[in-house]
Amino acid sequence: MIAESVRFALSGIAANKMRSVLTTLGIVIGISAVITLLAVGAGTSNMIKEQIGRLGTNVLTVNRAVATGGRATGGSATATRTRSTFLTLADQQSLDDPVLAPDIATTAPVVQAQSVTAALGSSTHSIASTLGTTPSYFGITAFSAAAGRVLDDADAGQPVVVLGNSVAVDLAQDVSTLVGQTVSLNSRNFTVVGVLAAKGTSGLNDPDDVAMVPIDTAQGAFTGYTQSLSSIAVQAKSADVMTQAQNEMQQILDARHQVTPDTRDYQVRNQAQVLSTATSTTQTLTILLSAVAGISLLVGGIGVMNIMLVTVTERTREIGIRKAIGATRGNIVLQFLVESLIISVLGGIAGILLGFGASGFQFFGIQPEVQWWTVWLSVAVSAGIGLVFGIYPANKAAKLRPIDALRYE
């Protein structure tokens, strides 16, 4: 009986090829849109994880907070002003205490110079970020040398520089030839000891557009001799103790700066929290976009039901003849239900193939990643659409009285 129903369904579909193709379009578009959008969402999440991973693992960054003014309450100013003290080398060194901060692996002080231009011969490059730091910074931020080496303890106070890949490419076609050469940074001569391996762009920021010099050298050449730091890079011992490391760090700095959690004069950026927030936002947007794409599936299902109702009307006499020669109500229901199911499943398969094809292209620098569970879900959804939206037309056909169907013109 099932084989006979499939044969009747296929002959009915083949008899109206163009109509059948147009009926499946709604299913094709909906399935392909859902697969593509979910693939883009997965690709975006992977890209975010990769970009944050490039900046170092288990990293916490301490920055000086921007001072805020008092807040008026009941006509009088209240003492809610955030203090505006500086981060210092002493602050950084205090975080290396293994007793007070057992979950912190290492730290590095950072000073940042503004408007630094590198020059070599006739080539120049305006560096986005010129940092003065210590050797531990490279391990914290996962920077490695593609040519030469990174800074070491013997470089303290020396006019040496490690160039980021974007800077090096602008100064020389072969970046390896820069090692040992003298470049000018704001008209001061520095010896290039290394060129960093490329990390790739990260959104609007380019982590490779950087130059790094010893911290005391930066203070003497660019920022002035001061104990003030731009930030402190901190690496926790593992991803599992990020929260504990942050709490230990805040307790130490709160005591040193004599502040409370409400009046802190510094800010902490936790990369694990940044990753979690970014991933959550991406997932929410993906779900919303997929829900919009799902509307086309609903429209496609309605299209299937509409065409099946037309098919029932066109084949009323056929239904009457089949019932007159012994076809049961179940035979008629199965015939039209199988036809609806075949149309929907074929549309689902075509939508899956189209979704795979679309996911092979990059969207705004994002490489989509198709997840196999979305494929099986798409097959199930397309089959479900065929069953749900085919039940009413099939029942309508089965309820026809043979004598009325045979008289139908």
Q: Which burial class, exposed, middle or buried, applies to 158 when counting CB atoms under 10 A from its CB (0-12, 13-18, 19+)? A: middle
> Would 75 be classed as within a structural domain?
no
CA distance 388 to 384: 6
Q: Which of 106-115, 129-138, 319-328 has the lowest mean pLDDT?
A: 319-328
> Would 349 be classed as within a structural domain?
yes
Say yes or no to pLDDT of 185 above 50.
yes
In sequence order, which residues have a C-beta less than 8 Å from that of residue 49 and are 6 or more positions away? Answer: 275, 279
Q: Are residues 377 and 355 in the same domain?
A: yes
CA distance 107 to 349: 54
Helices 329-358 and 372-399: crossing angle, nearest 10°? Answer: 150
Say yes or no to pLDDT of 359 above 90.
no
Q: Are residues 221 and 287 in the same domain?
A: no
CB 150 within 8 A of CB 138: yes
How does pLDDT run across 194-223, given as a tens digit for each residue?
999 988 765 556 788 999 999 999 988 887
In sequence order, which residues have a C-beta less than 8 Å from that of residue 343 and are 6 or more positions away? Answer: 13, 20, 23, 24, 27, 304, 307, 386
Task: Provide the domain count of the chain.
Answer: 2
Say yes or no to pLDDT of 29 above 50.
yes
Q: Which of 200-209, 282-291, 301-310 has the lowest mean pLDDT?
A: 200-209
Say yes or no to pLDDT of 356 above 70.
yes
Average pLDDT over residues 182-204: 84
Residue 325 CB neighbour total at 10 angstroms: 8
Q: What backbone phi and psi angles, to 5 degrees, belong to 83?
A: -70, 155
Average pLDDT over residues 105-129: 90
Q: What is the pLDDT of residue 376?
A: 82
When pLDDT is cut at 50, 70 and 90, the band that residue 121 belongs to is confident
Q: For residue 210, what are the domain limits?
A: 66-70+81-264
How does pLDDT run across 135-158, given as a tens digit for each residue?
999 988 888 899 999 999 999 889
Q: Which of 18-22, 174-178, 180-184, 347-351 has the lowest mean pLDDT?
A: 18-22
Q: Are residues 250 and 285 in the same domain?
A: no
When pLDDT is cut at 50, 70 and 90, the band that residue 192 belongs to is very high
Strand ranges in 160-240 using DSSP code E only, listed in sequence order: 160-163, 182-185, 188-196, 210-214, 228-229, 231-236
pLDDT above 70 coverage of the chain, percent: 83
Q: What is the pLDDT of residue 310?
A: 77
Say yes or no to pLDDT of 84 above 70.
no
Q: Are residues 4 and 112 in the same domain?
A: no
The label of the residue with tokens 């947007």 reads 285
> Would 350 be classed as within a structural domain?
yes
Q: Using only the alpha carbons of the chain, give its radius of gyration.
A: 34
Q: Are residues 247 and 99 in the same domain?
A: yes
> Would 56 be classed as within a structural domain?
no
- Average pLDDT score, the chain: 80
Task: Identify the domain boundary among 236, 264, 292.
Answer: 264
> Would 271 be classed as within a structural domain?
no
